[in-house]
Structure 1
Amino acid sequence: MKRIFSGVQPTGNLHLGNYLGAIRNFVALQHDYECIYCVVDLHAITVWQEPAALRAHTREVTAAYLAAGIDPKHSIIFNQSHVSAHAELAWIFNCVVRMGWLSRMTQFKEKAGKHRENASAGLFVYPSLMAADILAYKATHVPVGEDQKQHLELTRDTAQKFNNDYGVDCFPITEPLILGAATRVMSLRDGSKKMSKSDPSDMSRINMTDEADAIAQKIRRATTDPELLPGPAALDEAGRLPEETRKARPEAWNLLGIYAALSDKSWSEVLQEFEGAQFSAFKKALTELAVDKLGPIGAEMKRLQADPEHVDGILRDGAERAAAIAEPILREVQDVVGFLRP
C-alpha cells in the first residue's frame, strides 16, 4: 500500500495556513493511504524553544490533528523525538548529502538571514533530518506545501545517491502531493507574504483556536483592493490561476483561495458565485464559512489540550507503532552501510 509521511512543527499559534496547507489534507489522505503523521519536535529545536512551551506546543499540534479528524487508530500520530531512528538515519544521511545541496536551500537562507555564522548547525542540516523522517518509513508520498518542494527534492536526491553509492534498491523515490486551491495561504494584511505564526500582528492570521468574533474581525479588516471581484475569465484554459494574475491582486486572490479551500469548491465555481461582487458581501460569506468550519475544530482542540494525559497516551501509542516500522528499515540501512550490530 502507498505510504504517506508528513509532519507539523510544534512552534505555537497554529493558524489557517497550517490547517488548509497541511492538516486538512492529512485527514482526507488517511482514507486512501497508510498514513504516518508526526509532530516534528526535533526540527523545532533548530531554533531556540522554551522547553515548557515546546511540550505545550507538541500537545497543541496533536490536539489539532485529532480535532481536525485524524483517526489515531487508523493513522499513526507521534512526536519525532520518541523514535530514535529519525536521528540515527539523519546522521547517516549527513554523510550522504553534499554541502552544496544544503547551501542552496532557500529556507536556510531565509531563516539564517544575514548572520549565517550564528545559525545552528541543526538548521543547516535540517533537510537531512527531513529526508530521514520520510525515508525511515520508506514513504512513497509526502503532502507538501509549495515552499517545501525543494526539501522534498533533496530527499529524492538523497535516496537516489544512497541507492547508487551502495548499489542497492533500498529507498523509494518519494513523490510529492500538492493539494487544494489554497496550498499557499497568505497574510490577511499583506497578500505577498505567507500567513505566519511569527508575524508580530495577530490580525495577519486566523488561529485555529480563534473564537467566532475574532475570526469575523480579522476577515472584516483583511486587506483588499477597490475593484470588484473577478470572474472565471481570469483563469487559464485548464481552470488554473496564472501566477501573474495572482500577483496583480494578491489580497483578493488570497481570500478567494481561502474560500475555495474551505468550501471544497474549484476556482471556477467560486468565481462564478462571486463575479462582480463587492468585498463587503464576499467577506460576510467568507466569515460565515470560516466560523462554521473552524469553530468546532477550535473548541475540540481546547478540550483536548485540557486533558494532556489523553494526548500523551496517543503519542506514546503512535511512537510504538512508528518504531515498529522504522527500526527494521534502520537495521537494513546499517547493514548496507557496513555497521556491525550487536
Structure 2
Amino acid sequence: MAFKQLVFSGVQPTGNLHLGNYLGAITKFVDLQKTFDCIYCVVDMHAITVWQDPDELRRTIREVTAAFIASGIDPKKNIVFNQSQVAEHAELAWVFNCVARMGWLNRMTQFKEKAGKDRENVSVGLFAYPSLMAADILIYRATHVPVGEDQKQHLELSRDIAQKFNNDFGAQIAKYGFGDMFFPLPEPVIQGPATRVMSLRDGSKKMSKSDASEYSRINLTDDADTIAQKIRKAKTDPEPLPSEEKGLETRPEADNLVGIYAALKDISKTEVLREFGGAQFSSFKTALVDLAVEKLGPIGGEMKRLVADPAYIDQVLGDGSDRARAIAAETMKSVKDIVGFVRR
C-alpha cells in the first residue's frame, strides 16, 4: 500500500532549550516543512514519565512552542500542538502495549540509562515510553521521522510494532480495505552536520540542560553578550585548527566547535577548515561568536516576545490539536475495527 508522505516529530517540554536542540532537531524541522507535510508535537505526556512541577510544565510547553515558531516553523502550514490535547495518542499506545513484547522494551538502552540501578522505583510510563512514541508517530501514519542517533533505537521499535500489528491483524486489515498493511514502517531522517552537539566544557559529553555548568551550553533564550561569553570560555586545546577534517579525530572540543560553526552556516566541516585551518582558536572563536549571535539572537528575542503572549501560543496549540485530532480520530476508528472493538 502507498502511504502519503508525512513527517512527524516531537520535542519534550523539559525546559532550557539549547543549541543542541536547535541544531540537532529544530533546524531540521524547519527544512523539512519545505518538502513534506509536517506534524510537530510538544510531547508533554512523555515529559511526565518523571515527575514535573505542573506550573513549570505549563511554562515549558509554551516555551517549546515559542521556539518552534521563532525558529521558522509555520503553524498554519504545519500542525503544531501538544500531545496531551489529542487523547488518541494514549489510546493507541495501550493497543501497542498489547502488541509490543517485554523483551523488546527491556532492550531499550535509554530506559537502562535513565533508570540506572534503581529500576524497581521508576514509573511504568518510563518503561513503556517507546510504545507511546510509536503511537505518536503511527496515529498519523507518518512515513518519516527526523531523529537523533539516541532515538534511532526507539524508531526501530516503532517499525517493529507497526510490522507486528500488520502481521497479527493482516486478515482484518485486508477486510477493511487497507491491503496488506495498515501502518507504514516509518523511516528515519538524519541529515546535516552537528546532529550531536557536545558540551562546551567537555567535548566527550552531549550538550545537556541537566549539566550543572551554565557554560556547558548555549540556551536559545541567551542574549548576545551571554552567547559571546560562553563561546569565548568554551574549552579548547593549545594547537591551531587543523587544515583537514581527519585532524579533528583526536580533538573533541575542536571538533565540536567546528561542527557548530558548520551547522550554523550550513556548510561542511571541510569548508570551515579550508577557511580557518592553521588559525588560533582566539580568531576562530571571534568568528563563531559573530555567527552564533547573528543566527541565534533573533530567535531568542522572538521567543521572549511569544512567551510573553501565552494566549497566542495557546491558540496555536488549540488550533493544531483540532487539526491533529481530526486525523488521529480516523486512524483510531480503523484500529478499533481491525482489533475487534465495538464502537458507534
Class of the TM-score when normalised by the shorter of the 2 chains: over 0.9
Cα distance in 1, alignment partners of residues 202 and 108 from structure 2: 25
Q: Residue 204 of structure 1 aligns with which residue?
A: 216
Q: Residue 242 of structure 1 aligns with which residue?
A: none
Q: Residue 238 of structure 1 aligns with which residue?
A: none
Q: Residue 299 of structure 2 aligns with which residue?
A: 297
Structure 1 position 278, deviation (Å): 0.9
Deviations 1:120-164 (A, max 9, x none): 100000000000000000000000011110110000111011101
Q: Structure 1 residue 156 and structure 2 residue 159: aligned?
A: yes
Asked whether the equivalents of residues 45 and 83 of structure 2 are also in contact (C-alpha less than 8 Å), the reply is: yes
Q: Residue 88 of structure 2 aligns with which residue?
A: 85
Q: 2:197 aligns with which of 172, 181, 185?
A: 185
SS at match of 1:191: coil
Q: Structure 1 residue 74 and structure 2 residue 86: aligned?
A: no
1:115-126 matches, within 5 Å, as 115-126=118-129
Q: Residue 310 of structure 1 aligns with which residue?
A: 312
SS at match of 2:327: helix
1:234-253 matches, within 5 Å, as 234=246, 246=249, 248-253=250-255
SS at match of 1:176: strand
Q: How many residues align?
A: 332
SS at match of 2:62: helix
Cα distance in 1, alignment partners of residues 271 and 257 from structure 2: 14
SS at match of 2:69: helix
Q: Residue 259 of structure 1 aligns with which residue?
A: 261
Q: Residue 47 of structure 2 aligns with which residue?
A: 44
Distance 1:226 1:136, change over 3 A: same
SS at match of 2:38: strand
Structure 1 position 232, deviation (Å): 2.7
Deviations 1:21-62 (A, max 9, x none): 111111111010000000000000000100000000000000
Cα distance in 2, alignment partners of residues 121 and 231 from structure 1: 50
Structure 1 position 228, deviation (Å): 1.5
SS at match of 1:124: helix
Structure 1 position 233, deviation (Å): 5.5
Cα distance in 1, alignment partners of residues 336 and 251 from structure 2: 52
Q: Output the amino acid matched with 2:52.
A: Q
Q: 1:280 aligns with which of 264, 282, 305?
A: 282
Asked whether the equivalents of residues 11 and 43 of structure 2 are also in contact (C-alpha less than 8 Å), the reply is: yes
Cα distance in 1, alignment partners of residues 236 and 339 from structure 2: 56
SS at match of 1:7: strand
Cα distance in 2, alignment partners of residues 282 and 114 from structure 1: 43
Q: Output the amino acid matched with 1:223.
A: K
Q: Identity across aligned pairs (percent)?
A: 70
Distance 1:340 1:302, change over 3 A: same
Q: 1:16 aligns with which of 16, 19, 40?
A: 19
Q: Output the amino acid matched with 1:224.
A: T
Cα distance in 2, alignment partners of residues 94 and 28 from structure 1: 33
Cα distance in 1, alignment partners of residues 276 and 158 from structure 2: 41
TM-score (norm 2): 0.95
Cα distance in 1, alignment partners of residues 205 and 60 from structure 2: 24
Asked whether the equivalents of residues 99 and 165 of structure 2 are also in contact (C-alpha less than 8 Å), the reply is: yes
Q: Output the amino acid matched with 1:305.
A: V
Structure 1 position 114, deviation (Å): 1.0
Superposed CA RMSD in Å reads 1.0
Distance 1:59 1:233, change over 3 A: closer
Cα distance in 2, alignment partners of residues 15 and 233 from structure 1: 26
Q: Structure 1 residue 223 and structure 2 residue 218: aligned?
A: no
Q: Structure 1 residue 30 and structure 2 residue 33: aligned?
A: yes
Q: Structure 1 residue 55 and structure 2 residue 58: aligned?
A: yes
Asked whether the equivalents of residues 6 and 37 of structure 2 are also in contact (C-alpha less than 8 Å), the reply is: yes
Cα distance in 1, alignment partners of residues 243 and 40 from structure 2: 38
Structure 1 position 96, deviation (Å): 0.7
Cα distance in 1, alignment partners of residues 69 and 206 from structure 2: 25
Cα distance in 1, alignment partners of residues 33 and 86 from structure 2: 21
Cα distance in 1, alignment partners of residues 256 and 101 from structure 2: 37
Q: Output the amino acid matched with 1:82.
A: Q
Q: Output the amino acid matched with 1:2.
A: Q
Q: 2:106 aligns with which of 103, 108, 112?
A: 103
Structure 1 runs, 4 residues or longer, greater than 3 Å off: none
Q: Residue 176 of structure 2 aligns with which residue?
A: none
Cα distance in 2, alignment partners of residues 19 and 196 from structure 1: 12
TM-score (norm 1): 0.95
Cα distance in 1, alignment partners of residues 240 and 162 from structure 2: 49
Q: Residue 327 of structure 2 aligns with which residue?
A: 325
Structure 1 position 274, deviation (Å): 1.1
Cα distance in 2, alignment partners of residues 159 and 133 from structure 1: 12
Deviations 1:298-339 (A, max 9, x none): 000000000000000000000000011111011111111111
